[in-house]
A and B are shown apart, each in its own frame.
Chain A
Amino acid sequence: MNPVRQAVVWLNDPLNWTNPGGVLDRLGEHLTMSAAAVLLGCLVAWPFGLWLGHTGRGGGPILLISNITLSIPTLALLTILPLTFLGFGRPAVVVALAVFAVPPLLANAYTGVRQADPEARDAARGMGLSGGQVLRRVELPLAVPYLAAGFRTAAVQVVATAALASFVNGGGLGQIIRAGFGLDIAAGGGQIIAGGVLVAGLALLVEGALALVERAVTPRPLRRDRRVAIRRAVDATAGS
């Protein structure tokens, strides 16, 4: 039986979904650790990025951070962090994933504030708004589309990377693929492909859903010509 047929059979077996450690369990683990990682990334990267953008400093550090994280293998962080004070288990995995969420969040928060119309900023200052008020009432609302774009890039990346948590038995859908590789390829081929379909499907689904969210939070007048600029900002950080 060829591997694709095997995969269809595997996916059609209800026990593979509902068993302990089945698809539903793994999906839950995958989503909770991804959500926690993205949330942690936002809490760290957004305030920092907005502040860097507000003060106008930050091109250098942001580039440095994204270059460093690009060259650190995910596997390395996943294996190193459990050996530090974080200890084994979910927190270490979440922190490792959050590290990879930071660069796109940071870069987009920074770009979002920087691209705010300087005349709007001057007008706000002229009206007597303090620095913090300018940031909160003028720059932040104008940066929302960029924050959304960064959030989408980061979330998709985290959901994709979370599959690797299975290397350190961190759970998630990757575990299904790893278990398949643990079997012989002839016996596990179907399960391997089925796991691949689930992992890839989830990533594409998250990408699509967040694209809609990104569109919804972008004010209508900003939608069209903003797209090019954001693509550029995202590409510069994701390296794609």
Chain B
Amino acid sequence: MSLPLSYRAEAGNPWFSWQYVRDNSDTILAALREHVSLTGWAVLIAALVALPLAVAAYWYRALAAPIIGLTGVLYTVPSLALFAFLAPYLGIGAVTVLTVVVLYALLVIVRNAVAGLHQVPPEVRDAAEGMGYGRWARLFRVDLPLALPGILTGVRLATVSTVALVTVGVVLGRGGLGQLIFAGFQNNFYRAQIMTGTLLCVLLALVLDLLLAGVGRLLTPWLRGRA
């Protein structure tokens, strides 16, 4: 991405420039598209893997400690180190970035889902059992619906932090909007480009968060009206 010198000559080095956005809309949209697809896939895959893990930790007490402990240790490992461990094996590319962000999103969702499942009141569980619900029926009709707010909190947190984390993918050349930010830094510290990438990141996180909050409201009609 090379920028004509005339921009800086005309307007110094502004923090934001519509001229830049107009002239580079293709690049910006491509970066945004990459960012959205990485985030979307990451959260989807993470949720699909995290839920069975959370249920396993909920059903079998022996599994709960290792699962929660392992996620805690993994969460402490810096993202750049995780990139470093995986890149020599998975190669330089989108697959590695996706794997790293899936792992972090996974941790956040598992922890919140386990917390949510443990908040199901014991009386409700007993009542379900007394009504003759089996293990699976209770899971789908009682436990999971009641744990839904916790699970959704996890998914929202995972989404917002994934949007921020994807930018670290620049180390492999696949950082979505991070690519824009980093290129701006390298192109003579071009502020408008850095700022455009940053604002889009924050906006994307906000929009996805609101979207998921809306989905959550639709999925839990019984919570509406309560504060």
**Do A and B bind?**
yes
> Which of A's residues lie within 8 Å of B, judged by CB?
3, 67-68, 70-76, 79-80, 82-83, 156, 159-161, 163-164, 166-168, 174, 177-178, 180-181, 185, 189, 192-193, 195-197, 199-200, 203-204, 207, 235, 239-240
**Contact B76 A168, beta carbon cutoff 8 Å:** no
Within 8 Å by CB of A196, from B13, B84, B170, B194, lies B84
Q: State whether the Cβ of B136 lies closer than 8 Å to any Cβ in chain A.
A: no
Q: In chain B, what residue has the closest Cβ to A200?
A: B81
Q: State whether the Cβ of B49 lies closer than 8 Å to any Cβ in chain A.
A: no
**Smallest distance from the beta carbon of B205 to chain A beta carbons, Å?**
4
Q: Report if A181-B185 is in contact (Cβ < 8 Å); known contacts: A70-B164, A71-B201, A163-B81.
A: no
> Which of B's residues lie within 8 Å of A, judged by CB?
13, 71-73, 75-85, 87-89, 91-92, 107-108, 111, 115, 157, 160-161, 163-165, 167-168, 170-172, 175, 177-178, 181-182, 184-185, 189, 191, 194-195, 197-198, 201-202, 205-206, 209
**Smallest distance from the beta carbon of A173 to chain B beta carbons, Å?**
9
Q: Report if A167-B170 is in contact (Cβ < 8 Å); known contacts: A72-B164, A76-B198, A199-B84.
A: yes
- Most chain A beta-carbon neighbours within 10 Å: one of B88, B157, B184: B88
CA distance A240 to B91 in the complex (A): 28
**Interface of chain B, helix or strand or loop or mixed?**
helix
Chain A residues with CB below 8 A from B77, complex form: 160, 200, 203-204
Q: Report if A239-B170 is in contact (Cβ < 8 Å); known contacts: A161-B78, A167-B182.
A: no
Within 8 Å by CB of B82, from A71, A79, A196, lies A196
* Known A72-B198, A79-B184, A200-B81; further 10 A-B contacts with Cβ < 8 A: A76-B198, A79-B182, A83-B189, A83-B194, A160-B76, A177-B171, A185-B88, A199-B81, A235-B115, A240-B107
**Smallest distance from the beta carbon of B116 to chain A beta carbons, Å?**
12
Chain B residues with CB below 8 A from A185, complex form: 87-88, 91-92
Chain B residues with CB below 8 A from A180, complex form: 84
Chain A residues with CB below 8 A from B88, complex form: 3, 185, 189, 192-193
Within 8 Å by CB of B84, from A193, A204, A239, lies A193
Chain B residues with CB below 8 A from A239, complex form: 108, 157, 160-161
Q: List 22 A-B contacts (CB under 8 A).
A: A3-B88, A70-B160, A71-B160, A72-B164, A73-B177, A75-B178, A76-B181, A82-B189, A83-B13, A163-B78, A177-B81, A185-B87, A189-B87, A200-B76, A200-B78, A200-B81, A200-B82, A203-B77, A204-B77, A235-B115, A240-B71, A240-B108
**Interface of chain A, helix or strand or loop or mixed?**
helix
Chain B residues with CB below 8 A from A73, complex form: 163-165, 167-168, 177-178, 181, 198, 201
CA distance A223 to B171 in the complex (A): 42
Within 8 Å by CB of B201, from A72, A195, A200, A203, lies A72
**Contact A195 B78, beta carbon cutoff 8 Å:** no
Chain B residues with CB below 8 A from A167, complex form: 170-171, 182, 185
**Smallest distance from the beta carbon of B131 to chain A beta carbons, Å?**
31
Within 8 Å by CB of A181, from B87, B115, B184, lies B87
**Contact B202 A79, beta carbon cutoff 8 Å:** no
